[in-house]
Amino acid sequence: MVRLNRVLLKDAGNAIDKTLSEILVCPLSKQPLRFCEKTKSLVSDTIGVSFPIKDAIPCLVPKDGKILEEEGDASKA
């Protein structure tokens, strides 16, 4: 049984349950978050902050958030 649970957790990776992602909001802006497949994180488009997901648990502590660079700024560099 323990081996089966480890396999399930390993397969789950950094994914997050769809129902849970629909309930969660940004701790700073209180706006909905979207799941980013590329970075496997939750993104607040309102304020441009990405929150990591570790072991299928969203880390929504404001200090864990990373400010996203704007596409326009990245293209100028």
d(CA 51, CA 56): 12
Q: For 61-70, what is the mean pLDDT?
A: 92
pLDDT tier, 69 (very low <50, low <70, confident <90, very high otherwise): confident
Cα 76 to Cα 26, 45, 67, 68, 73: the distances in Å are 29, 21, 18, 15, 5
Q: What is the pTM of this model?
A: 0.69
Exposed e or buried b for every residue in 46-75, given b needs 16+ CB within 10 A? eeebbbbbeeeebebeeeebeebeeeeeee
Per-residue pLDDT tens over the stretch 10-59? 444 446 777 787 889 999 999 999 999 999 999 999 999 999 999 888 99
Residue 77 pLDDT exceeds 90: no
